[in-house]
Amino acid sequence: MIKQLPLRFGNSHKADVRTQFAAMCYRIKNDKVQFLLVTSRGTRRWIIPKGWPMDGKTPADSAVQEAWEEAGVIGRADPRPMGLYSYTKTMDDDGEDLPCVAMVYAVKVKSLATIFPEAGERTRKWVSRKKAAELVDEPELSRILRDFDPRRTL
């Protein structure tokens, strides 16, 4: 159950918007940044792990939890968001579109588990910065991936 109340934009005829927290999982290999992408469960498009706020967890900790559940990531998040992007989530139960804003947190991957909660539901793969920016659908996320500088993380 989603506990977060929708944001309202007054009388501007905007739809209710929900916030999610996303994990931009990365590693450095041969002095180059690589990103870990996963497939969505429904459309099988390439995404970064993300999910709803979790009671008792900071936004960065929520992003790390989603990275574990969706991709088997064991790692550490920078507590500062790297940016945000908007997208439309189709809800499974009623098929309605729900506008969302995802706050992106850089997660440095220490290792990947072979057994994790959604292992049978998703595919994961490491890709270059350029390939990651091409594979994701959201232009704002593409820009965050292209502009990411790991030297600026904690």
Residue 11 belongs to a domain? no
Question: What's the domain range around 126?
Answer: 19-152
Residue 40 belongs to a domain? yes
Residue 86 belongs to a domain? yes
Residue 61 belongs to a domain? yes
pLDDT tens profile 94-116? 667 788 899 999 999 999 999 99
pLDDT score recorded for residue 95: 66
pLDDT tens profile 107-152? 999 999 999 999 999 999 999 999 999 999 999 999 999 999 998 8
pLDDT score recorded for residue 98: 82
Q: Given a cut of 80, is residue 78 above it in pLDDT?
A: yes
Residue 110 belongs to a domain? yes
Residue 13 belongs to a domain? no
Q: What CATH number does the domain containing 57 carry? A: 3.90.79.10
Residue 50 belongs to a domain? yes
Which whole number is the average pLDDT over 6-12? Answer: 47
% of the chain exceeding 90 in pLDDT: 74
pLDDT score recorded for residue 15: 55
pLDDT score recorded for residue 9: 47
pLDDT score recorded for residue 11: 45
Q: Point out which residues pair with 35 in neighbouring strands.
A: 26, 127
Structurally, how many domains does the chain consist of? Answer: 1
